[in-house]
Structure 1
Amino acid sequence: MRAAQRNGEDVAGLTATRLTALLTAFRPGDDMLGVSELSRRTGVPKSSVHRLVGHLVAQGLLDRENGAVRLGLKLFEIGQLATQQRGLVDAARPYLADLREATRNTVHLAVLEGTEVVYLDIVRGPDAPNLPSRIGGRFPAHATAVGKAILAFSPDSVLEKVIATGLPRIGPRTITAPGLLRRSLAKVRADGLAHDREESRVGVVCVASPLLDGDGRPRAGISISGWSNRVRPGRVAPAVRTTALTLSRTLS
C-alpha cells in the first residue's frame, strides 16, 4: 500500500470517528448544543467541530438554529429503516404489555451489540423504579439480567470479548470476576433464566430470559425490573420464562 493511499485512509477514518462522536455526543434531555459544548464533550477541536457540523447540517443529520444544533429528522428516518429490529419490536410489544400487566413492573426488550445490550423497547410499570434505561440506550451486558440471558446462549467468542474488554463495577453487586461470570452463565443456560440482584443499580432486581431462534441462538432477551423489596424473583420468573418461550416460537 502506497503512503498516499494509507494516509488518505487514515484521514477518512479519523473523519468518520469524529462525525460519529459528534452525533453521539447528544444525551437524553439535550435539545440544542453549541460548537463549544460539542468540542468539550468529544475532544474534537472547535475549528474541526464547526467544519464537520456544517457537513452534517447540509446532509440533514443536524438542524441549525441560533448558532446551535440539534439532531435532525434524517436520523429518525434512518432509524426507522432498521426493519429487522422494527419487526422484532412490533411482534414483541403485545407480549411485553401482557407481562407488564401481570407483574406491574417495567419490561425490557434488548439485543446484544458488542459488549453491551441495546434496549429496543421498554414498557414501564406503575410499581417499578425510575430506571435510567431508555429506548436506544446501552448498558454493559455483564451487569444486566437481560445481557446475561443473551450471553449465556451466545458463542464462547462473544463472552471472551466481553471479559477481555473488562467487567467494570456498575452496581454494588456487579459480577467483576471472569470465573464467577462464567459460572453464573452456566446456571442461566441450565435454567433459561438470568438474575440481576442489585448488579446494575442499588435496590433494583431483574429477571430475564432469552429469545432463541430455531437453532438455539439468542436473538434478543426480555426482562422485568422492580424494587428489591417488592419483587419476588421466584414468583415472577415463571411468567418471564413463559413469555420468552412463547415469543421465541412466534418469531420462529
Structure 2
Amino acid sequence: MALKHEPTAPYHSAQDALRVLETVARHSTGVTDAELARRTGLSRERLTTLLLMLRREGYVEQVADGTYVTGDALTRLSSAHGHDQAVREHLQRTLDRLRDSVGAAVYISRYVDGEVKVTQYAAGPATPAVNEWVDFRYSAHATAVGKSLLGQLDHNGRRDHLSRHKMARLTSRTITSDKLLLSRLESQPPTVPVLDLQEYAIGTVCAAVPITAGSSVGCLALSLPVEHAHRLRQAADRLNRGATPVLLSLAL
C-alpha cells in the first residue's frame, strides 16, 4: 500500500522537538537554551514554544541553574521495560489535556491491516464520546476519522478499501457515491481538517487531522454535539496545534 503523505505542521514541530530532546539527552549535566538554539538551529522564539510543550509533557525539566535536563516522562518512555504501557499511559494523559483544551472528546485512530481502528480516546461528562452505532471499520466513508485516514492513502489504497466496505447511507447527509467520495478525498488539502457534518450520526459533528509517524497512517479527531457545531472549526484548529505532543509520543 502506497501512502500519500505530505508532512503537516505538527509533523515538522515533532521533528524539531525530537532534535531538542536528542540534544538535551546528550548533555547529562544540563544545557542552556542558548546552546540548544545554537545546536538545533532553531530560532529562540520557536525553541521557547517547544521547550514549554516539552516541559508540560514531562520530557525535559529546567533545573535550578536554568539549564535543561531530561525529564521523568522521557526516562519512562525510553525504558525497554513496560515501554508499550508507558506510551499508552502518557498518551492518555496527553489526550485528557487536549480534551480539556479543545472542549471536545478526542480520539487517536490508525489504519491497521486495511482497517480503521480507534486506538485511544478521551471523553468526559461534558465532552461525550460518539455513540458507535455502526462499527467504525465499516463506516470510513461517513466519518471524519475514516476520511482522514483514507485521504492519506494513494488512489489504489482508497479503492481497495471501498471495494471491501459497502458505502451504506447512515444519515441523509452520508456520501454513498464512491466517485464523489474519491473526488473529495483527492481535493482535500492535507493541512485542512476533514469534517463530518452529521454524515455518520444525526446530532454529532466531527473533525480530524492527520498525524503521520513513519510509514503508519494515523489521525487525531474530535467530536461535538451538533448544538456546538459553531465551535467546530476553531476546535479543529486547536486540535491541529495540539497534535505535536501526540505525534511525539508515537515517535519516541
Aligned length: 167
Once residues 154 and 94 of structure 1 are traced to their aligned partners in structure 2, the CA distance between those partners, rounded to angstroms, is: 29
Identify the residue that residue 173 of structure 2 maps to in structure 1. 173
Identify the residue that residue 125 of structure 1 maps to in structure 2. 124
- How far has the Cα of 1:157 moved from its partner? 2.4
Identity %: 24
Identify the residue that residue 111 of structure 2 maps to in structure 1. 112
**Letter of the 2:227 counterpart:** N
- How far has the Cα of 1:100 moved from its partner? 0.6
**1:200 and 2:200 aligned:** yes
**1:150 and 2:146 aligned:** no
Identify the residue that residue 219 of structure 2 maps to in structure 1. 221
Cα contact 2:129–2:223 (8 A) shared by 1: no
Once residues 191 and 220 of structure 2 are traced to their aligned partners in structure 1, the CA distance between those partners, rounded to angstroms, is: 15
In 2 relative to 1, CA 177–87 (structure 1 residues): closer, same or farther, beyond 3 Å?
A: farther
Cα contact 2:195–2:205 (8 A) shared by 1: yes
Query: Which ranges of structure 2 fall in alignment gaps of 5 or more residues?
Result: 1-81
In 2 relative to 1, CA 137–103 (structure 1 residues): closer, same or farther, beyond 3 Å?
A: same
Query: Which ranges of structure 1 fall in alignment gaps of 5 or more residues?
Result: 1-82
Once residues 115 and 171 of structure 1 are traced to their aligned partners in structure 2, the CA distance between those partners, rounded to angstroms, is: 25
Once residues 161 and 196 of structure 2 are traced to their aligned partners in structure 1, the CA distance between those partners, rounded to angstroms, is: 17
Q: Cα deviations across residues 108-134 of structure 1 (Å, max 9, x unaligned)?
A: 112224564222112113333463239
**Letter of the 1:151 counterpart:** L
Aligned CA RMSD, in angstroms, stands at 2.9
In 2 relative to 1, CA 137–143 (structure 1 residues): closer, same or farther, beyond 3 Å?
A: closer
**Letter of the 2:206 counterpart:** C
Once residues 198 and 170 of structure 1 are traced to their aligned partners in structure 2, the CA distance between those partners, rounded to angstroms, is: 9
TM-score by length of 1: 0.57
**Letter of the 2:127 counterpart:** A
TM-score by length of 2: 0.57
Q: Cα deviations across residues 151-193 of structure 1 (Å, max 9, x unaligned)?
A: 1111322200122232111233112112221232234334342
Greater RCO, CA 8 A, separation 6+: 2
Identify the residue that residue 101 of structure 1 maps to in structure 2. 100
